[in-house]
Chains A and B, each alone.
Chain A
Amino acid sequence: MNELIPAFSFRQVFIEPWSETGGDYLWVVLMGFFVTAACGMTGVYLILRRMALVGDAISHSVLPGLAVAFLAGSLIAGGDASTGHLAETGIAGGHYDFRNPTLMFIGALVAGVLTTLLIELIHKKSRVKQDAAIGITFSSLFAIGVILVSLFAGKVDLDADCVLYGEIGFVAFQPFATIAGHELTPWPVLRMGVVFLLTAGLIGVFYKELLVSSFDAGLASSLGINPTWVHYSLMCWLSVVVVSAFEAVGAILVIAMLILPGATAALLTHRLPVVFILVLIHSAISSLAGLHLALWLECPTAGAMVVVGAMQFCLAWMFSPEQGLLTRGRRSRVEGDLVDRHKAEAAAG
């Protein structure tokens, strides 16, 4: 057991990462925040529209899209990614030559839309129910993705570990974006930051449309908002967010990033604007505390971030002022006492 859980040392876990490594961890925390916040804000609408599991499906089925995009990228570059690995740092995908962002986004968008269409095809054209249709679609696409990744291990710049939990811990070792010779941020962080800002901006601009179509599709169409259009736009944006988050946190942990912040916030408030503020706070806590948890336990950073997010959910579940399991239990006891006293008084008086 002692080997499994390293001894906790405050200095090693909390002080040294910040004092001795020159801010490498800042990028990890920032990346974690951007990923969780962008996913979380998109996820709020998935939860509202009861489409959480469509998010699950898309996050899985983005994999074949990415694999094909990487394959195409390596064919264009005419090289072999396996020789380009940065072996000494252990980075699975050190080479950015084959990671053509445009191809990646196209591949992911195609995969995302294909998933939505396939689910609808199976659901509408046969008597298979929607839940089974979701399960069949994403597992088939994910299986194809995994097979592509293992067959073309040399050409596809992805490996099984990256698929499962991403490589957010290595984000500081990626090439930096430079402006006028100054190193600014690592490319993935910059990209994710842009996606985060775009997510926030899009939600701000289309706030009313999303709100109305999520809560009352009938009212939305009477106001001239096409629900189908909103649905597919949301799916497309979901694919964009998922694919940007993919290399950081992998295919499966993305689901946690999508659902946990929104679900936690939904337990704490009924007001949508407050939900978004809580999502941001949740994301900040997850990424910072997750990093330190990962440093202590020496486990994957993305996994630790999700564990912290899940803990926050559990806390909200237990102690939410209005809906918490424990607080609600106490309140009903207090109310029960009040009723008893009233009864006693009525009997006496």
Chain B
Amino acid sequence: MGARRKLGLLTVAIALLAGDASAARIGELTETGVWDQMVRFFSLRDPALRAVLLGSGLLGISCGLLGSFIVVRKMSLMGDALSHAVLPGVALGFLWNLTKDPLAIFVGATLAGLLGTLTVHAITHTTRLKEDTALGLVLASFFAVGICLVKMIERLPTGAKSGIDKFLFGQAAALNSQDLQLMTVVTLLAVVLISVFYKELLVCSFDPGFARAAGLPTRMLHHGLMLLLAFAVVIALQAVGVVLVSAMLITPAAAAYLLTDRMHRMLFLAATFGVAAGILGAFMSFLGNNLPTGPFMVLAASMVFAGAFLFGPRHGTLARWWRQRSRSRRVERENTLKALFHVLEGRGFVGEGITLQELASRRHETLEESRERLHALCRNGLATFDEPGEAIYLTPEGWQRARAIVRNHRLWELYLTNQVNFAADHVHDEAEEIEHVLGEEVVRQLERGLDYATRDPHGKVIPSTADIMHDDGGGPRPPKDLVGYGKTT
């Protein structure tokens, strides 16, 4: 689905490219307000800006797609090594005819990037050095060679104004129509190849052993992916720069990884985030009067990641914190209910209200703490508090929950002593933990397994499930008309 939508987007991109996207640099700023600049940037009236916008979008798509694969394959830093390793290739591409010929640079950079990944592979397989060392080594050594070459080229009479320095930190304004055509072709290639080989790539990435057993050419697929990765890095170079291009691979994909468990959705999200980061970065750099684009794109991508990290619905930190908090609150409420039950049980279920004092002494805490607990119960409709009478009354729901939790506790104690042969005085702490997580299904199994026993190891009555569910007044509970538990006051 996602792939088809992206194809549609690309068609639009190509249609726009057919118009004249001139290689002019972004002119002087005539607009003063941010709003006017925004209109100018996004209205596609200015051909140079159109090129910037399209280029940023295209690189976002290809980097997001390929980045997703390296993130799930735990090869993120291979992307980093590869992106630094392309620099000597860029320089050699320049040397080909001493101008910024996109095709020569593309070929040179791709070859250098592949050579870098192969070197990493060779070092890890022929020496005792580990992969991280090999990656760092290749990254920095290739970069050093590249930086020497770049400076030597800049020394040449024609090299100084060739714009090679723009490849280090990126300048989207330097994109011309040739660059854009190349980017379109490469992005299209990536989209098509990934949609065609989607199933194979998926299997290969998540279960290489199975892929091999199924007879898939895993090595071929790996190298194919590396080639595509090199392509994605190389087309992004001009706008993002050698130094930071790896972030455009990793960050949008990692943000997408936090939001979904399905690969196809992750690909779609990563591409979307990539486009958003690219365009936002280009816009910020445009506002800043043509500052380098790369750092702004990376910063925009990092903000997207931070958003996913904090606010992601399932894996986000806030969502997790909220889940944890609500769980611990529930446990606390259930413990209070249990304490109230124990108070009632202690006096043989005689009398209706429970005083705050009784609850506090049962829980061994101060009156203020007990009052807090009670308020939590009242807020959740589990109990009511009769302020003048100083009496706590359980609501029907509260009464049911209290009995359920006591039942869970005592059943588990009985199970541990009878079936697992725990000593009767060692089972309480275990039961304190598990009583909050036992599901109805498990409880039924336990009851059946324990022959519907009515007494726990300490001789106390176990409230039965049937009693709790139907509330028919039978079982261990005294008749309803005798005491008023569960009445709404």
Residues of A in contact with B (beta carbons under 8 Å apart):
3-5, 47, 50-53, 55-56, 122, 125-129, 131-132, 134-136, 139-140, 142-144, 146-147, 150-151, 160, 164-165, 252-253, 255-256, 258-260, 262-263, 266-267, 297-300, 302-304, 306-307, 309-310, 313, 317, 323, 325
Q: How far is the CB of B481 from chain A (nearest CB, A)?
A: 54
Q: Who on chain B is nearest to A304 by CB?
A: B148
| Binding stretch for chain A, among B134-142, B176-184, B197-205, B219-227 | B134-142
10 pairs, A vs B, C-beta closer than 8 Å = A47-B133, A52-B130, A52-B133, A128-B258, A142-B243, A146-B294, A147-B295, A164-B147, A300-B151, A317-B126
Max chain B CB contacts within 10 Å: which of A253, A297, A306? A306
Q: Of B74, B79, B151, B295, which is within 8 A of A143 by CB?
A: B295
Q: Of B95, B247, B294, B317, which is within 8 A of A125 by CB?
A: B317
Q: Mark B135-171, 1 if CB is under 8 A from A, else 0.
A: 1110111011101110111011100000000001100
Q: Who on chain B is nearest to A160 by CB?
A: B169
Q: Considering the chains assembled together, what is the distance between the CA atoms of A302 and B74 in angstroms?
A: 32
B408 within 8 A of A: no
- On chain A, the residues within 8 Å of B140 by CB distance are 252-253, 255-256, 259-260, 306
Known A52-B135, A253-B147, A307-B141; 15 more pairs at CB < 8 Å:
A50-B133, A56-B77, A128-B71, A135-B76, A135-B246, A135-B247, A136-B250, A139-B298, A143-B244, A147-B295, A256-B140, A260-B140, A299-B148, A300-B148, A303-B151
Which secondary structure dominates chain A's binding surface?
A: helix
- On chain A, the residues within 8 Å of B302 by CB distance are 136, 139-140, 143
Q: Considering the chains assembled together, what is the distance between the CA atoms of A307 and B87 in angstroms?
A: 14
Is the CB–CB distance between A144 and B299 below 8 Å?
A: yes
B108 within 8 A of A: no
Q: Considering the chains assembled together, what is the distance between the CA atoms of A86 and B1 in angstroms?
A: 60
Q: Of A56, A259, A267, which is within 8 A of B127 by CB?
A: A267
Q: How far is the CB of B474 from chain A (nearest CB, A)?
A: 49
Is the CB–CB distance between A297 and B148 below 8 Å?
A: yes
Residues of B in contact with A (beta carbons under 8 Å apart):
71, 74-77, 79-80, 84, 95, 123, 126-130, 132-133, 135-137, 139-141, 143-145, 147-149, 151-153, 155-157, 168-169, 243-244, 246-247, 250-251, 253-254, 257-258, 288, 291-292, 294-296, 298-299, 302, 305, 309, 315, 317, 320
- On chain B, the residues within 8 Å of A50 by CB distance are 130, 132-133
Max chain B CB contacts within 10 Å: which of A52, A267, A309? A52
Q: Who on chain B is nearest to A264 by CB?
A: B137
- On chain A, the residues within 8 Å of B145 by CB distance are 303, 307, 310
- On chain B, the residues within 8 Å of A47 by CB distance are 129-130, 133
Is the CB–CB distance between A259 and B136 below 8 Å?
A: yes
Max chain A CB contacts within 10 Å: which of B130, B135, B253, B298? B298
- On chain A, the residues within 8 Å of B80 by CB distance are 56, 135
Is the CB–CB distance between B126 and A325 below 8 Å?
A: yes
Q: Considering the chains assembled together, what is the distance between the CA atoms of A47 and B168 in angstroms?
A: 28
Q: How far is the CB of A303 from chain B (nearest CB, A)?
A: 4
- On chain A, the residues within 8 Å of B298 by CB distance are 139-140, 142-143
Q: Who on chain B is nearest to A60 by CB?
A: B243
- On chain B, the residues within 8 Å of A150 by CB distance are 291-292, 295
Is the CB–CB distance between A160 and B295 below 8 Å?
A: no
Q: How far is the CB of A335 from chain B (nearest CB, A)?
A: 18
Q: Who on chain B is nearest to A4 by CB?
A: B152
Is the CB–CB distance between A51 and B147 below 8 Å?
A: no
Q: Considering the chains assembled together, what is the distance between the CA atoms of A256 and B81 in angstroms?
A: 12
Q: What are the nearest 6 A-B pairs in CB distance?
A: A139-B247, A256-B140, A306-B144, A310-B141, A143-B295, A140-B302
Q: How far is the CB of A97 from chain B (nearest CB, A)?
A: 26
Q: Of A55, A140, A298, A303, which is within 8 A of B247 by CB?
A: A140
Max chain A CB contacts within 10 Å: which of B84, B95, B137, B156? B137
Q: Considering the chains assembled together, what is the distance between the CA atoms of A183 and B443 in angstroms?
A: 86
Q: Who on chain A is nearest to B147 by CB?
A: A303
- On chain A, the residues within 8 Å of B76 by CB distance are 129, 131-132, 134-135
Q: Considering the chains assembled together, what is the distance between the CA atoms of A52 and B140 in angstroms?
A: 12
- On chain A, the residues within 8 Å of B84 by CB distance are 252
Q: Who on chain B is nearest to A293 by CB?
A: B148
- On chain B, the residues within 8 Å of A259 by CB distance are 133, 136-137, 140
Q: How far is the CB of B66 from chain A (nearest CB, A)?
A: 14
- On chain B, the residues within 8 Å of A256 by CB distance are 137, 140-141, 143-144
Assuming the A-B contacts A135-B79, A266-B128, are A4 and B95 also in contact, with contact meaning beta carbons closer than 8 angstroms in the complex? yes
Max chain B CB contacts within 10 Å: which of A143, A260, A262? A143
Q: Of A4, A53, A125, A160, which is within 8 A of B132 by CB?
A: A53
